[in-house]
Chains A and B, each alone.
Chain A
Amino acid sequence: MALTGVEIFKLLPKTNCKKCGFPTCLAFAMKLAQRQASIDLCPDVSEEAKQKLGEASAPPVRPITFGVGDKSIKMGEETVLFRHDKRFVNPCAFALEIKDTLSEKDIRDRIEQVLNSEMERVGQKLRVDAVALMNDSHDTSRFEILAKTIFQNAPDIPVIICSENPSSAETAVKLFADRKPILYGANLENAEAFANIAKTYKTILGVKGNNLDELSSLTEKVKSLGVQDIVIDSGARKAKDILRDNTFIRRAAIKKNFKPLGYPIITFAQREYSLVEALIGTIGIAKYSSIIVFSSIEKWKNLALFTLRQNIYTDPQVPMQVEQKIYKIGEPTTTSPLLITTNFSLTYFIVSGEIENSKVPSYLAVIDSEGLSVLTAWAAGKFTAAKIAQFIKDTEVEKIINHRELIIPGYVAILSGAIEDKLEGWKVIVGPREANGLPAFLRSKL
């Protein structure tokens, strides 16, 4: 079982030498307990302590980095079954399958799609993370052509090399030897050969069982052959089976500390209809997949799935924040009302929703309060008269409206005088305490 911070602290040198980058051994121990640091950072820890810690601190789902460089993907390290308990750690990666039966032009087209898949959403850059090379031809030379085309055109995109044939697999893997690819396809028949290739070329090994029992013995087997980094596939393809197996795998790893299934999950979501495929992807995102392989990546589908992944992997403890700026609601003019609130996203959604309901076009100034709601932000000194006044000045809202009236939430009525003192020529109007009072309030001002 995991050690507590204090138990780990007792195993450390207690010199507070700071070589690990933390101010004290205690602070370092606490980070270790939370698996936010690695024991390797301590140069002075004894071998014995290291071993004890290694056993105890091995996370229930093995952390693995797939690919190298900027586009590498972290997987594993999950600690919970439900996102409200604690943040899901490493967002699942999306991969596009590219079959070796395609023409060279089609292969290039698909590589292009992956390379051009990046889009930005609430400050994050999101993209299709990887490609999966499919040896559908069962032919080694065709597979090699596919691998070469990808290697030449997208050298830094992480690849999943999918084949059940050791010689095909090895031919392709060779090309990516120093790029930490996933070699997928180890099964009952070929496990030994695949484990050897994985070891030789230092790849992650994708293991496929026909059920969870078979999968468990397969991972044990390849582990005994010296392969540490594994991703697992229970063989489930139907939605119902994916949900069941993924749930069992996550539960077994986290609640039972069952090591044979303590690895990231790869899910194959390919479907004839792209929309249905998106919904299978939805299941994978919500329910524990670490990699999802798709057969197509239309932009509309990417946008929806990127957004869902972002939503599911948001930290439930860090309130979601919206960008600090002046938002237009409806089509406001120079005489439209100006309201201000904090940047806690729920606050923003509810306030902007009620302004919409009022049908009174308005400006909504949203100030960075580190995601706190109005009253909490005020108490924490993040929503104060000085900060509000400064924000109003900085945004130069005076250039887009010709009145000088600012509506503040009723909960911080106390601030009205102080804001007026700091914002010359402005009048502060106290709005309702709750957002649902806004429609009546705004209409009464017309």
Chain B
Amino acid sequence: MAFTPPTESYTGKVCALTIGLGDKAITFGGENVLPFHAFEGSIPNKPVIAFEIQDIPPDDWPEQVRKPYKDVANDPISWAKYCQDTLKAKAIALRLIGTHPDGENRSPEDAAKTVKDVLSAINIPLIILGSNHAEKDASVLISAAEAAKDKNCVIGKAQEANYKTIVAAAMAHNHKLIAMSELDINLSKQLNILIIQMGLERERIIIDPMCSALGYGLEYTYSVMERIRLAALTQNDTTMQPPMLGDVGMYVWKVKETQASETDIPNWGSVEERGITWEAVTATALLLAGADLLIMRHPKAVVAVEKVIEELV
């Protein structure tokens, strides 16, 4: 029996989105097929990996992922420069974790200053993230967005509880926006609708369906992403067509498997390689499910995932 390749065509297309300025600007999204299905459609852009840094020293990161940054992480400017110049990062994600009310409770003004400093030190695109405290993020991201005015950054994350102010800030200062909901495709669509109704074009949204780590709910994120992508492509659901984010590092580097020493659990093998693998496998699985933008921490995990992306496109 002769074999005819069962290709499929899709009615929808993922929005292409450009961040940053000048020749360092990057574009992701734009595909009209399922992830890496170049054999039946077009994939104009590769997924992008951003290196995660933060406004305060990463004392809550496990040893294995603090180590690569030990000489630079005391200061977000040197950290950002190191990622850009030494690690050849294509983008940086600055998490303003120091603003969390239970932590250092830094002010929105402090956050704005950090953003300005980091922006003046790098020329690659910047993603500006709050501390995931819905209320505080609203004020922090307004200041941060203003400090980064017209730099075409990404700000986030806008959630159901705080999206109005953050969307307004993104609109006023010409940024892209991350819209996050908690592992619920219907709420994700609803949030996008509300944001679009406020006047932010869908071409400026990035969907974060909420990440989860390998072994800790990864299959939920995986399936929600697959379903969002299918809705975008097969149902031509325009509200589900923004590209998707996998905020991988933060979720991976808090699970036991990335921290427990080999002495404690000999059967798990080397903690260094285990942690890196945990991050890289989580990231790769989400790429296969449809993520276009990843935020990661360990340089070796990034290198491996980029190698696989090269092999996949």
Contacts and interface: CB of A to CB of B under 8 A. Distances in A.
Interface string A88-102: 000000000000000
A283 B284 contact: yes
Nearest to B268: A303
Interface stretch (B113-121, B137-145, B201-209, B220-228): B220-228
A212 B271 CA distance: 41
A155 B260 CA distance: 34
B71 interface: no
A151 B267 CA distance: 26
A274 B281 CA distance: 12
Interface in B292-313: 300, 304-305, 307-308, 311-313
A274 B102 CA distance: 40
- Chain B interface helix/strand/loop/mixed: helix
Interface in B234-288: 254, 257, 267-271, 273-274, 276-278, 280-281, 284-285, 288
Contact of B267 (A119, A260, A349, A436): A119
B218 A311 contact: yes
B216 A251 contact: no
Nearest to A360: B102
B284 to A, nearest CB: 5
B288 A299 contact: no
A213 B312 CA distance: 22
A243 B313 CA distance: 10
Contacts of A258: 1, 3, 6
B157 to A, nearest CB: 14
A215 B257 CA distance: 41
Which among A212, A251, A308 has the highest number of chain B CB atoms within 10 Å?
Answer: A308
A359 B277 contact: no
Contacts of B304: 273, 275-276, 279
A240 B313 contact: yes
B212 interface: yes
B36 A279 contact: no
A216 interface: yes
A215 B276 CA distance: 37
B160 to A, nearest CB: 10
A278 interface: yes
B1 A282 contact: no
Interface in B2-57: 2-3, 5-6, 8, 36-39
Contacts of B5: 212, 248
B183 interface: yes
- Chain A interface helix/strand/loop/mixed: helix
Contacts of A121: 215
Interface in A138-167: none
Interface string A239-255: 11001100110011001
B99 to A, nearest CB: 14
Interface in A389-410: none
Contact of A303 (B134, B220, B257, B311): B257
B183 A346 contact: yes
A283 to B, nearest CB: 7
A216 B183 contact: no
A50 interface: no
A426 interface: no
B214 A304 contact: yes
Contacts of A276: 304, 307-308
A312 B285 CA distance: 10
Contacts of B289: 286
Contacts of A350: 182
B3 A349 contact: no
B218 A308 contact: yes
A350 B212 CA distance: 11
Contacts of A436: 134
A403 B308 CA distance: 53
Interface residues of A, number: 64
Given A239-B311, A244-B39, A275 B6 contact: no
A286 B223 CA distance: 11
B217 interface: yes
A183 B230 CA distance: 38
A134 interface: no
A275 B303 CA distance: 10
Interface string A187-214: 0000000000000000000000000110
Contacts of A311: 214-215, 218-219, 222, 285
B285 A282 contact: yes
B9 to A, nearest CB: 13
Given A303-B269, A311-B219, A255 B6 contact: yes
A40 B274 CA distance: 47
B215 A307 contact: yes
Nearest to A312: B219
A48 interface: no
B61 to A, nearest CB: 15
Interface in A310-341: 310-312, 314, 316, 320
A275 B273 contact: yes
A286 B285 CA distance: 7
Given A244-B39, A300-B274, A304-B278, A279 B308 contact: yes
Contacts of A283: 284, 288, 308, 312
B242 to A, nearest CB: 20
B274 A303 contact: yes
Given A300-B268, A307-B214, A279 B1 contact: no
Interface string A248-286: 100110011011110000000000011110111011001
23 contacts: A82-B226, A239-B308, A240-B38, A243-B288, A243-B312, A247-B37, A252-B6, A258-B6, A274-B273, A280-B308, A282-B284, A282-B285, A286-B289, A298-B269, A300-B268, A300-B269, A300-B274, A301-B277, A304-B214, A314-B219, A320-B217, A320-B219, A346-B217
The 5 closest A-B pairs by CB, nearest first: A299-B269, A300-B274, A300-B269, A239-B311, A216-B3
Given A212-B3, A275-B300, A349-B212, 5 more contacts: A240-B313, A251-B8, A258-B6, A300-B268, A349-B217
